[in-house]
Amino acid sequence: MIQPENTLIVFDEIQGAPGALTSLKYFYENAPEYHIISAGSLLGVAWNRQTSFPVGKVEFLDLYPLNYIEFLNAKGQQALVEVLNSQDWSLIKVYKNRYIDLLRQYYYVGGMPEAVLAFTQEENFTEVRAIQKRILEAYE
C-alpha cells in the first residue's frame, strides 16, 4: 500500500518517458503529499522538445563530481581532512607524502561517484578505468 508520508517516487531518466516530465505539475498541484525525485540529463530534456516543462513546479539540484576533500572522506581519511581544515601547516607538512599520494589517486580516479566507490572498495585502477570508459561512451 502506498502511503504518501512514507513513499518516495523516483522518476529516473525522466526525459525518456513521454508525459513523465509533465506529470510533475500534476503532483505539485494535485498531489503535493507525495515526495517526488526525478533524474535525467538536461541534454535529454532539450532533445525532447515536444514535452512541456512544468516551469515553477520543479526545483533543480546540480550534481558535481567529488572534490578532493570529498574523495578523502570517501577513502576514510577524515583525520587527514581535519588536519587540512585546521590549517596547521606544520602538521600538514608531516603528512605531505600521504596527501600527495592520495592526490595522485584522486587525479587518476577523478570524482565520478561510481568510480570513487569502486576504488574505495578494491583500489583497482583497472576497474576504475573501465567505469570511466563506460561513462565517456555514454556521453558520446
Domain, as residue range, for 27: 1-63
Burial label, 96 (beta-carbon count in 10 A; 0-12, 13-18, 19+):
exposed
Number of domains in the chain: 2
Q: Locate 92 and state its grid cell.
A: 600538514
Residues 46, 82 share a domain: no
Residues 72, 50 share a domain: no
Structure confidence by residue, pLDDT tens digits, 104-122:
999 999 999 999 999 999 9
Q: Is the pLDDT of residue 45 over 90?
A: no
Residues 78, 58 share a domain: no
Mean pLDDT value of segment 31-58: 69
Could you give the CA distance from residue 99 to residue 90 in angstroms, rounded to a whole number?
A: 14
Residues 54, 95 share a domain: no
pLDDT band at 52 (very low <50, low <70, confident <90, very high): low
